[in-house]
Structure 1
Amino acid sequence: MKMSRTLIVHALIFYLIVNNCFSQTTKIDSLQNLLKTASDTTEVNILRKLGENYRFHDKEKAVQYGLKSLEKSKQIGFVKGESKALYALGVTHGMTDNYAKSLEYLNKCLTLATNQQDHKSLCDVYNSLGIVYKRIGDYPKSQGYYLKSIGLVDSLQLKVNVSSEYINLGVLYDLMGQQDKAVESYEKALETYKGPDRKDKENAILTNLAVMDFNNGNFKAALDKFLQRQQYAEEQNDNMSRCIGHSNIGMCHLKLQQWKPAEEHLLKSLELAKQLSLKNQIVVNYNGLADLMLQQEKFKEAINYSTKSLKSLDISGGYEQKREVHQQAYEIYEAVNQLPKALYHLNQTIAYKDSLMNETKVREIQNLQIQHDVYVKDREIEANQLQLALLNTRVEQNKKRMVYFIIILILLLFSASLLYFRFFGKEKIQRPALREKSIDFPTKRCD
């Protein structure tokens, strides 16, 4: 059975979400206790952090806390808090696929950060805008925002870590089929990273490179990278990463037809997935084991694992995963000549394929609608900025006119004063002269 090229990536995303959920529940309780006695800027920050921690649990609450933080910031004139609240709301809406709303808040934050010359916030906003535009399929605009963030740091020599931007650029280039550029971006991410958790960053990039190799069919290269990643997970005693890692390693061995290590790693991953209650990963491992047995023509074991995979498949699972599980079951029952069961699973495969196509079409239409909404929002923002620029220009022109008027008025007053003093000055000089003439030359008396 041909495994989905995105299964590994999906597993990694699932790991990140679950891992965050475990740690954030205790944070929420702690923050709510602190909020009871908080005030002013402390209250603003706690409200924002509550919103951030609710993202994986309850979107509505996440937005509510974000809006409360924004409102409180405005009330007390806390501009930095207002900027952070706008950014947090933009990220929250982006993470919950409300991209038009996300861009609205991010652009408001962008304006505020620009006015305040808050370069760190500008870098964060540019990076987040890049992520949103990537998700709605506008890759050129996404690339532009990532490069804006990097360019801002380079031009101003800011002490800001842009390794995340380079990693995001790498993912974007991979999606665009420009894998050489993707590798360059990953290398640049490591080159620019100066933080304390360098090994975490290195292993995150290593995973991305391994996924790239796996999707390209370079299973040996992918295996080597996944084994390095697994060693780090073992050192950190991270069961979640170990579980995902064993599955990825098992899949690589399976593709290389190395049956024994493939089975060992898939069973280890399955055991950890059951301990951690990772339903999605349980299905992935059962599916991998069924495929492994099918390729070795161990049909009884293949049917057993395929049946368990179908039973474990979550009702809310994606159409792609359901299609693959039924596709595999069809191949197994066809191989053992159990045609009624094979036909049933084939029909299910076709049904889920049709559902997947319909879902894809719906998503494409939704993305086009989002792009239209975003386009309209962008035009509104540009129109508002143009109107504001025109208003500022008029204000400046009026100021200049007032200055010119005052200067002309002062010059006129000065000229009038000069004329006044010159006129009265001459008059004062002429009057004594006339009096002196009458004395020197008296009128002649008549005898």
Structure 2
Amino acid sequence: MKKELVVFIFFCLCLLVNSQTTTNKEIDSLKIIIANQTKKQQFSTLIAISNVYARINLDSSKHYAQKAFLLSEKIGIDSLKIKAQMFLGHTSWERGNYDEAIQHFKKSLAIGTRIKNKEAIADAYNGLGIVYSKLGKLNTSIDYYFKTLSMYEKLKDSLGMGAAYLNIAWDYRKLTEYQKSIDYNNKSLQIYSKLKDSLHVAMVNNNIAGSLNELGKYKEALRFSKKSRFYFLKLNYERYTAYPITNIAISNDSLHNYDEAKINYLKAIELHTLNKESYELAFLNNALANLNYNLKDYKNASQKGKEAIRYAEEVGAIEFMASSSKTLAKTFEKLNQLSESNKYLKLYIKYNDSIISTEKLKSIAEIETKYQTEKKEKEILSQRANIAEKELRLNQKNTQIIGLGILAIVLAVLGYLLFNQQKLKNKQLQKESELKEALIKIENQNKLQEQRLTISRDLHDNIGAQLTFIISSIDNLQYGFNITNDKLTSKLSGISEFTRETIYELRDTIWAMNKSEISMEDLQVRISNFIDKGKVASTGINFNFNVDETLSEALKFTSVNGMNIYRIVQEAINNAIKYAEAKTITVNFYKLENDLKINIIDDGKGFDINTVALGNGLNNMKKRAHEIGSSLKIESKVNEGTCIEFII
């Protein structure tokens, strides 16, 4: 047995050395040929280099994807821009930059929608589903995955369908629907095996191993994990071996092979640390904390648990915040630090409730039911179409027979038909004229959108860069010179902070300018992102964001109105954070007949509305409300909090 193990280890080491050498040679050869290529060929080569680097170094992968995107901008071909944005989105989420990834995927979606490229739209949906899954927003991610699956089915894209099944399986595993996860994994595996796609076969095997671990079938899980690792090494995807290694560690941990489990946990942590993958590091550190807990090494368990929470907070992974809080709660209980144990127990309850609530599970079930219903309806419509086609053929035959009998009548009314034909021709000419006018209108709208995009790029590339340079220069002044004057230091810090805030507002403005209209979903995502930043920056404050379920996600605003709504909510939250000393801040969106009612409520110290002079912030909010045809209502009492409300 020992001899076989030595041979296997030697074989794996040979594969690793050979894969690294092969990868470096592949990159070097691509870098050599790029000098003598056309612009389009250079773009494809840069994407190929980015793809190869994705196996070993995500920073380098992003660097070459960025170069490809800049080249696509110069070339000006939409399909190339889409491909570059998708690569940037993937490198961003794999590095844990989820907000950045969402922006790249949404830009790709916008271009794909504009040019009516269904494949690009499906790919963007899939990317967004992956990111929202990482963020623990499973009802959103599964909704995107089923949209993706539906589009790939229409396109008859087997590879895309396999990816959608794989991603749906992953989310059902998070929801502890393990058998359902395995069912979708098997659908995916059937497609990839038929296509002889070894890379995705490796991914599916790893996913199945994870579900088997959850079902307590650890030895079977080990078999799938080792098969997955073998395929990744064979394909030179060394970085991806971290995933099956993690499952191998979990299986050994559950089988009480703690030494073997610890070796594999540490190896997986090493690989993910190399590529700065905070999401995976959050999971692994929590798993290692649990292992130390089982070994009664509570000190190391608490250290690893805290590291897990730190990594989870970096990427907003609520599921790991919950599991790590649970681990720390029981660990500190063993250390007799009951106040710490109670603190983490409360955090676990809070995060766990936000992940798997009854309403979310109901929503996800409704998404799958809707997909299955639509699929059956399409099959029924297809059957009806076939029946109608057969009936049409029969009618055509009958018509031909009758036509022979009425030939004489047709000749008699020929003049009348010619008259009708001329009339029809005149109508057709009128329709063509209307179509030309519509095309001119669309062309003008496209030119206007291009101008908006040009202005937004100029703002980002020129003014944004200049503001960043100001911040860098101020920081260099502070750290490069030994400034002892406190007033000067304070002044420089104030300028730096003001410039940073200006950059944030500039980004919001660019976001609005890039859109001809802002949907309810866009607005929700933007406000949610702002609240998430508020949570990180303002400890001790509980944030709530409630949106009436009857509000349609298809609700649209002009970019100006959408921006004004966002700014009012942003300013109200900022005021509550800075001045109110609030413990809870709540944002509510209600449907009020045909109107939208928005209020922002805090439980802070409040103020006397009759005696306090309104500052620039409140006055600006009133002006913005007036611009969207609304009026701002402010209610506040000392020590009873404040409510800001407006109706659209």
In the superposition, the TM-score normalised over structure 2's length comes to 0.43
Choose from 85, 91, 97 the match for 1:47: 85
User: Which SS does the other structure have where 2:235 is aligned?
Assistant: coil
Shift in Å, 1:223 = 5.1
Q: Which residue matches 1:320? A: 326
Shift in Å, 1:57 = 6.0
Do 1:21 and 1:57's aligned partners in 2 also have CA atoms closer than 8 Å? no
Shift in Å, 1:126 = 1.2
Q: Does 1:168 align with 2:213?
A: no
Shift in Å, 1:388 = 3.0
| Aligned equivalents of 1:42, 1:397: Cα separation in 2 | 43
Select between 379-388 and 216-225 the one with higher mean Cα deviation.
216-225
| Aligned equivalents of 2:139, 2:310: Cα separation in 1 | 34
What does 1:361-380 correspond to in 2, within 5 Å?
Answer: 361-364=353-356, 366=357, 368-380=358-370
| Aligned equivalents of 2:125, 2:63: Cα separation in 1 | 25
Q: 1:151 to 1:34 in 2, by over 3 A?
A: same
What is the number of residues matched between the two proteins?
334
- 1:237-279 CA distances to partner (integer Å, 9 max, x unpaired)? 95989xx99999999899889x9xxx9xx8xxx9xx9xxxx98
Shift in Å, 1:134 = 1.0
Q: Which residue matches 1:73? A: 112
Q: Which residue matches 2:174? A: 135
Q: In structure 1, what residue type is equivalent to 2:329? A: R
Q: Which residue matches 1:346? A: 338
- Structure with larger Rg: 1
Q: In structure 1, what residue type is equivalent to 2:88? A: L
Shift in Å, 1:176 = 1.4
Q: Which residue matches 1:299? A: none
Q: 1:195 to 1:118 in 2, by over 3 A?
A: farther
| Aligned equivalents of 2:275, 2:193: Cα separation in 1 | 39
| Aligned equivalents of 1:407, 1:224: Cα separation in 2 | 77
Q: 1:33 to 1:134 in 2, by over 3 A?
A: same
- 1:184-207 CA distances to partner (integer Å, 9 max, x unpaired)? 212332465574326555564344
| Aligned equivalents of 1:100, 1:246: Cα separation in 2 | 26
Shift in Å, 1:144 = 0.8
Q: Which residue matches 2:307? A: 280
Q: In structure 1, what residue type is equivalent to 2:377? A: Q
Shift in Å, 1:34 = 4.0
Shift in Å, 1:171 = 0.9
The structure with the greater share of residues assigned to strand is: 2
Q: Which residue matches 1:310? A: none
Q: Which residue matches 1:389? A: 379
What does 1:207-218 correspond to in 2, within 5 Å?
Answer: 207-218=246-257
Q: In structure 2, what residue type is equivalent to 1:126? A: Y
Q: 1:407 to 1:102 in 2, by over 3 A?
A: same
| Aligned equivalents of 2:369, 2:119: Cα separation in 1 | 27
| Aligned equivalents of 1:323, 1:253: Cα separation in 2 | 14
| Aligned equivalents of 1:77, 1:283: Cα separation in 2 | 42
Q: In structure 2, what residue type is equivalent to 1:408? A: N
Q: Does 1:399 align with 2:379?
A: no
Specify every segment of 5 or more residues in structure 1 that has no aligned partner in the other structure, as ranges. Answer: 1-18, 285-314, 331-344, 418-447
Q: 1:279 to 1:361 in 2, by over 3 A?
A: closer
Choose from 346, 356, 376 the match for 2:348: 356
| Aligned equivalents of 1:282, 1:372: Cα separation in 2 | 28
- 1:291-337 CA distances to partner (integer Å, 9 max, x unpaired)? xxxxxxxxxxxxxxxxxxxxxxxx9995335435644653xxxxxxx
Q: 1:329 to 1:66 in 2, by over 3 A?
A: same
| Aligned equivalents of 2:199, 2:323: Cα separation in 1 | 40
Choose from 159, 164, 183 the match for 1:125: 164
| Aligned equivalents of 1:385, 1:282: Cα separation in 2 | 41
| Aligned equivalents of 1:204, 1:102: Cα separation in 2 | 21
Q: Does 1:86 align with 2:76?
A: no
Q: CA RMSD in A?
A: 4.7
Shift in Å, 1:415 = 8.2
Q: 1:377 to 1:40 in 2, by over 3 A?
A: same
Q: 1:137 to 1:20 in 2, by over 3 A?
A: farther
User: Which SS does the other structure have where 1:162 is aligned?
Assistant: helix
- 1:323-360 CA distances to partner (integer Å, 9 max, x unpaired)? 35644653xxxxxxxxxxxxxx3243245335534544
User: Which SS does the other structure have where 2:151 is aligned?
Assistant: helix
Do 1:27 and 1:53's aligned partners in 2 also have CA atoms closer than 8 Å? no
| Aligned equivalents of 2:166, 2:327: Cα separation in 1 | 31
Q: Does 1:177 align with 2:206?
A: no
| Aligned equivalents of 2:383, 2:225: Cα separation in 1 | 45
| Aligned equivalents of 2:114, 2:196: Cα separation in 1 | 35
Specify every segment of 5 or more residues in structure 2 that has no aligned partner in the other structure, as ranges. Answer: 1-55, 312-320, 408-648
Q: 1:140 to 1:318 in 2, by over 3 A?
A: closer
Q: Which residue matches 1:96? A: 135
Q: In structure 2, what residue type is equivalent to 1:49? A: F
Q: 1:362 to 1:48 in 2, by over 3 A?
A: closer
- 1:178-227 CA distances to partner (integer Å, 9 max, x unpaired)? 11221221233246557432655556434432333234432243356568
Shift in Å, 1:73 = 1.7
| Aligned equivalents of 1:97, 1:116: Cα separation in 2 | 29
Shift in Å, 1:143 = 0.8
Do 2:209 and 2:220's aligned partners in 1 also have CA atoms closer than 8 Å? yes
Q: In structure 2, what residue type is equivalent to 1:409? A: T
Q: 1:76 to 1:148 in 2, by over 3 A?
A: same
The structure with the greater share of residues assigned to helix is: 1
Q: 1:281 to 1:136 in 2, by over 3 A?
A: closer
| Aligned equivalents of 2:147, 2:291: Cα separation in 1 | 46
| Aligned equivalents of 2:220, 2:291: Cα separation in 1 | 25
**Percent of aligned positions that are identical:** 15
Do 2:165 and 2:188's aligned partners in 1 also have CA atoms closer than 8 Å? yes
Q: Which residue matches 1:152? A: 191
